[in-house]
Structure 1
């Protein structure tokens, strides 16, 4: 009797010990709502922060649930391993990628998932933009139906699934959980993308709760109907801005990778006009055309760049890849408020032709998260590129603006 009891007790102790040292089950993971940012100047965890969150969410997907990913590029072994493992435990994994470059990891994943979009699992590579006549699949959004502790998880931002992006680019990732309508609206967009067919009317702009989502391509975009320009036109620089503005004026902060072409010029002219009317404006840019910079600099816009050539080989190897901008103050007919627009679209002509996603988030907490990220880069990791600094001459750089375009996106 004593021996039997001892064996049972020992077995119980062993089970308890194993439970204590074993990792928590996948269903215990809950991705936090809101915005996060990587830091390419930091250590490994800071560089990998966005990709770690995506991988952790994939690992938490419940068997029988569905993961849908639309991204520009992938070369990550960890992400690929997580998606294959999810597929093997019964998660429906569906991935869309752009066709400009296919990595070994993408080929390996497609070998497992297949490429038939009629099935519950596939990896399909779009030949151009998935819903457009030309352009690229440039969206970056991630949808999860069920990860155990949360349903209808949505992630979007500027992040690509590449090591290059983690090590050299500033990026953002915004997460929303338990928002069925937002999830299902983007699921519909994904479903219209997966067959890689030209859609007659692919442009979408719609309110989803307090979010506002804009999905491209847009064939007939002009200066008169450009969504970004129309948003800029709604900004009022003077009035009762309250705590949302700065110095009694509406505040605008723009952190934009690609800002060029005819579209870039007319958007720069509007930003310059808002500066003349009293808005407090700062810009971070990494691929703005010379004319774009010149127009804003001549009209009091403060402009810096996070571009650096760390190994002095004449090529930029650190830059911003985000596409976000903020308004703190007067926007539209409403009283002072806080607004963020983020996603995958650059301010360029080319960006109108591809699959892109921009989301408007009118929330104070989100605004402050993005403002803190902007301030960090502005103060610690950027240099003056135009003569807009009040008391000093701008810094100069001879670095060539070459950033490995096959990996970093547009």
Structure 2
């Protein structure tokens, strides 16, 4: 009897210790990396690992029996990211990926081969799709029931890579030619019939996805959306970072996560579907307002200074009437150039003369814009910080702020106690509104402002003041 009791105690202990101590929920709010030499490995890859872990927690549930993952990224070269998406496909998740560049990396090609393996093919270019030769997530098709499959010296066993514990990571055959990889990217459209039985795909647009039909612009949006992740539903992440090495090591980046907001998630799902079609999107600015969050999707046609939504946001800033003291405006902008960059700079620096406390960090402006920003800072006294560093001594600035955000505390619109964050993938450049695919997020939350202000101060601490500040 004592042995039975002891066994039961041990068994119960095993059951209890094997259960998770807490249910997983993606951390909502801001996530920021700290690039080397100042950040350790965890800090460097904090954003990317946050996305990867959320992907690993997506699976079919009673509430969400057919889950989906939506990825839109300019680059992807990390094997853990590719493995996480492949693992989701194997769990029965529809994984839908749009990339702009970097499809030549091994991680991206492996992902393409796995997710596009069971998609229909058009080998002779006649526009008629042929049955796939592989099963879901690039698994082998079962042999015909009528007769065994014929032996062929060209049939090779699947190459399966494992981790240190012998766990299978990849499902690629490793024998796709570059031409086949590129051709497979053109097959998926907004029709589910082109996604294969697993409902998954990787595609690449010609130029921008929803922009001009002549291929102008590019697909520059960066969002990661999941119909569930752990105990959370409708998870949406918007970021300045891609799932690549540079997103961690070569720049300061930000990401904002929302959960349990179906309206926001459905906005991403609709736009992602339209992007997959790779046709001009009609040209109107698409906007989703969901509580304190306003998500915008670009491009928009006939964009001018008069209808620039970013300038409209800046025009709402009031330097008098704040109930929180002097209205504060903090900018951290990566790309800054051209006519649009000039009029946005003029607006930002003019706020100092109106009584606002203004400070600016730049990442990678054009040479002309860098000169102009210095001139404006000297003329107005606005503190201007250069975040660029040459870490290798080759006269190239490998490290810089890659963030694209504006922070406002004080009087904004008709609110005298506003806390505003304006972030996303879009730079302050010509074509940022009307050519490429971009997504931005405006957040009216004190908690978000506090997180972003802390990040802004951290970037400033590792930048050099080049003008202004009196």
**Common topology (TM > 0.5):** yes
Which residue pairs with 1:125 in the alignment?
204
Q: 1:11 deviation in Å?
A: 7.1
Find out whether 1:87 has 2:164 as its counterpart: no
SS in 2 for 1:374: helix
Cα distance in 2 between the residues matched to 1:375 and 1:356? 26
SS in 2 for 1:330: strand
Aligned length, in residue pairs: 378
Q: Which structure 1 residue ranges, 5 or more long, are not aligned?
A: 391-410
Find out whether 1:185 has 2:185 as its counterpart: no
Q: 1:186 deviation in Å?
A: 1.5
Which residue pairs with 1:249 in the alignment?
326
Q: 1:282 aligns with which of 354, 359, 365?
A: 359
Which residue pairs with 2:20 in the alignment?
24
Find out whether 1:70 has 2:72 as its counterpart: yes
**For residues 194-209 of structure 1, what are the structure 2 equivalents within 5 Å?**
194-209=276-291
Which residue pairs with 2:158 in the alignment?
none
Cα distance in 2 between the residues matched to 1:106 and 1:12? 48
Q: 1:258 deviation in Å?
A: 0.5
Q: 2:414 aligns with which of 333, 337, 345?
A: 333
Cα distance in 1 between the residues matched to 2:323 and 2:263? 32
Q: 1:375 deviation in Å?
A: 1.1
Q: 1:292 deviation in Å?
A: 3.6
Indicate the structure (1 or 2) with the bigger Cα radius of gyration.
2
**For residues 4-403 of structure 1, what are the structure 2 equivalents within 5 Å?**
6=3, 9-10=6-7, 13=10, 16-17=13-14, 20=17, 22=18, 24=20, 28-40=23-35, 41-63=38-60, 64-99=66-101, 101-114=103-116, 115=185, 116-117=188-189, 118=192, 119=195, 120-133=199-212, 134-239=216-321, 241-243=322-324, 248-288=325-365, 289-297=369-377, 298-352=379-433, 353-378=435-460, 380-386=461-467, 388-390=468-470
Instruction: Note the alpha carbon deviations across 1:306-343, whole angstroms, 9 max, x for none.
Output: 11112322111211000111111111122231110011
Cα distance in 1 between the residues matched to 2:88 and 2:5? 36
Say if 1:221 and 1:159 are closer, same or farther in 2 by CA, change over 3 A.
Answer: same
Q: 1:12 deviation in Å?
A: 6.2
Cα distance in 2 between the residues matched to 1:23 and 1:344? 39
Q: Which structure 2 residue ranges, 5 or more long, are not aligned?
A: 61-65, 117-184
SS in 1 for 2:255: strand
SS in 1 for 2:376: helix
SS in 2 for 1:83: helix
What TM-score do you get using the length of structure 2 for normalisation?
0.76
Q: Would the aligned equivalents of 1:99 and 1:126 in 2 still touch at CA under 8 Å?
A: no
Cα distance in 1 between the residues matched to 2:113 and 2:16? 36
Instruction: Note the alpha carbon deviations across 1:223-252, whole angstroms, 9 max, x for none.
Output: 11111111111111122x223xxxx32110
Q: 1:290 deviation in Å?
A: 2.6
Q: 1:19 deviation in Å?
A: 5.7
Q: 1:28 deviation in Å?
A: 2.5
Cα distance in 2 between the residues matched to 1:107 and 1:100? 9
Instruction: Note the alpha carbon deviations across 1:334-359, whole angstroms, 9 max, x for none.
Output: 22311100110001113221110111
Cα distance in 2 between the residues matched to 1:261 and 1:68? 32
Q: 1:197 deviation in Å?
A: 1.4
Cα distance in 2 between the residues matched to 1:72 and 1:214? 18
Cα distance in 2 between the residues matched to 1:166 and 1:83? 19
Say if 1:23 and 1:308 are closer, same or farther in 2 by CA, change over 3 A.
Answer: farther
Which residue pairs with 1:407 in the alignment?
none
Structure 1 residue ranges (4+ consecutive) displaced by more than 3 angstroms after TM superposition: 5-12, 14-19, 22-25, 99-102
